[in-house]
């Protein structure tokens, strides 16, 4: 049975008070809280099986290696990769995108080539491409959005040319909550022989992701947004593509044989995992994925959609409310502004009432520019949030708006 009350018991942090008020944590798009089972896994890993992986002959090293590789298989299964060697562990989404921008750019892009992004991208899916574009004299093309915050598919298609090498686009917007028609976008790009990187940072905690069904060339996400620790993330890549790319960073583990006359590289996935990986983080990520699987992704989705619909409806009670991002197809993220009140002031006062929201540009300044605003207040939900918390939030917001009006 799916019971939010039971789920909340798994997250010790949620029962604390902030400024004497029960914590309402609505900043899940920034990072999620961690269930006790994940915290216990980290404790167990360090207290019973800590040894640097892959090169050790001793018990602890072998045990840690087994756990790390088992975690890779869990991730592969979770996203339905055809092989676990297509799963590269990274520090997070940002590092995964930088890896692709650097290695793919090095191998496949030359002066005059084009990269297509969308207006709603997080800085992590803009700046790595800008750096590449500067290095190699490439051109970035940007897909416009419709008035409700969806990708303008006609404009998207019109941007793809014979010079386009890759499309890099978010599966779900961290500001608007829009769930993009990513499968269709991949199909359109593939018809023209163009590769696609999907930034899955905001999709992976909420949607069932099947990289084979999406036909994604690359798919990136962060552990900390899916109930796992910070410092671990994933880049999925199709095997033939990953094999074609040069290494991203040099160091231990990514090599086959090193000599001063020349070095050869390891096979996948190790070619892209230079240095000691976060082998405790990977096992904790696998535990988090197992936790979600046990809850049932469909149950999680249904619950979060209920929260989204309820909060959207109740926000309309507030005079001057403007919701930014009104697609029919959204995940549990709501950005809003109230009249001409500065989002920062709203966030500061809500915090004093125990409610954690995020304010500002949400690392999406080009999106803010396109909307002609400096920022928004954003609430974002996770599996442990409740409609009762939304009621507390709405009451608090009404008070805050009254104070600031």
Q: Which residues are catalytic?
A: 363
- How many whole angstroms separate alpha carbon 213 and alpha carbon 195? 15
Q: What angle do CA 307, 312, 313 make, to 5 degrees?
A: 105
Could you tell me which of 196, 112, 91, 207 has the C-alpha nearest to residue 151? 196
Residue 46 burial by Cβ neighbours in a 10 Å radius (0-12, 13-18, 19+) = exposed
Say what the alpha-carbon torsion angle 343, 349, 350, 352 is, to the nearest 10 degrees.
Answer: 150
Inter-CA distances, 55 with 27, 60, 72, 302, Å: 40, 11, 18, 44
Nearer to ligand PLP, 202 or 266 (CB): 202
- How many whole angstroms separate alpha carbon 342 and alpha carbon 304? 27
What is the H or E stretch that residue 237 is in? strand 233-237
- How many whole angstroms separate alpha carbon 278 and alpha carbon 232? 6
Are 214 and 183 spatial neighbours (Cβ–Cβ below 8 Å)? yes
Minimum CB distance to ligand PLP, residue 353 (Å): 24
- How many whole angstroms separate alpha carbon 63 and alpha carbon 44? 12
Minimum CB distance to ligand PLP, residue 101 (Å): 13
- How many whole angstroms separate alpha carbon 153 and alpha carbon 139? 20
> Given CA atoms 103, 108, 112, 116 in this order, what sign does their dihedral have?
negative
First and final C-alpha spacing in the chain: 44
Nearer to ligand PLP, 174 or 386 (CB): 174
Minimum CB distance to ligand PLP, residue 183 (Å): 18
Minimum CB distance to ligand PLP, residue 347 (Å): 16
- How many whole angstroms separate alpha carbon 199 and alpha carbon 90? 14
Nearer to ligand PLP, 122 or 303 (CB): 122
Minimum CB distance to ligand PLP, residue 122 (Å): 4
Nearer to ligand PLP, 99 or 280 (CB): 99
Minimum CB distance to ligand PLP, residue 200 (Å): 8
Nearer to ligand PLP, 201 or 311 (CB): 201
Nearer to ligand PLP, 61 or 156 (CB): 156
Positions that interact with ligand PLP (CB under 6 A): 92-94, 122, 124-125, 170, 174, 199, 201-202, 222, 224
């Amino acid at each position: 049975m799916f019971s939010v009350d039971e789920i909340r018991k798994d997250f010790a942090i949620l029962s604390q008070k902030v400024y004497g008020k029960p914590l309402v944590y609505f900043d899940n798009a920034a990072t999620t809280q961690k269930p006790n089972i994940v915290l216990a896994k980290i404790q167990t890993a360090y207290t019973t099986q800590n040894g640097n992986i892959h090169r050790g002959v001793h018990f602890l090293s072998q045990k840690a290696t087994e756990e790390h590789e088992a975690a890779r298989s869990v991730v592969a299964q979770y996203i339905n990769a055809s092989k676990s060697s297509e799963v590269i562990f990274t520090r997070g989404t940002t590092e995964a995108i930088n890896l692709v921008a650097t290695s793919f750019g090095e191998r496949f892009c030359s002066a005059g080539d084009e990269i297509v992004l969308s207006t709603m991208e997080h800085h992590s899916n803009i700046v790595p491409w800008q750096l590449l574009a500067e290095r190699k004299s490439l051109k970035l093309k940007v897909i416009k959005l419709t008035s409700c915050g969806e990708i303008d598919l006609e404009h998207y298609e019109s941007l793809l040319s014979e010079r386009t090498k890759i499309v890099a686009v978010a599966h779900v917007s961290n500001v608007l909550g829009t769930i993009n028609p990513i499968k269709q976008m991949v199909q359109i790009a593939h018809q023209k022989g163009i590769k696609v990187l999907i930034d899955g940072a905001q999709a992976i905690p909420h949607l069932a992701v099947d990289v084979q069904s999406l036909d994604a060339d690359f798919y990136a996400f962060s552990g900390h947004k899916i109930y796992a620790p910070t410092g671990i993330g994933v880049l999925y890549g199709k095997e033939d593509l990953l094999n074609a790319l040069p290494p991203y960073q040099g160091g231990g583990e990514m090599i086959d044989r090193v000599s001063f006359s020349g070095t050869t590289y390891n096979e996948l996935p190790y070619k892209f995992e230079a240095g000691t990986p976060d082998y405790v983080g990977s096992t904790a990520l696998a535990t988090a994925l197992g936790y979600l699987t046990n809850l049932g992704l469909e149950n999680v989705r249904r619950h979060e959609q209920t929260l989204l619909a309820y909060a959207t409806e109740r926000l309309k009670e507030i005079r001057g409310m403007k919701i930014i991002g009104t697609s029919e197809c959204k995940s549990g993220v709501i950005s809003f502004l109230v009249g001409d009140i500065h989002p920062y002031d709203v966030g500061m006062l809500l915090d004093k009432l125990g409610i954690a929201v995020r304010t500002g540009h949400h690392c999406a300044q080009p999106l803010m520019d396109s909307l002609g605003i400096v920022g928004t207040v954003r609430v974002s939900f996770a599996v442990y949030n409740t409609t009762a918390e939304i009621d507390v939030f709405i009451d608090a917001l009404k008070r805050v708006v009254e104070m600031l009006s």
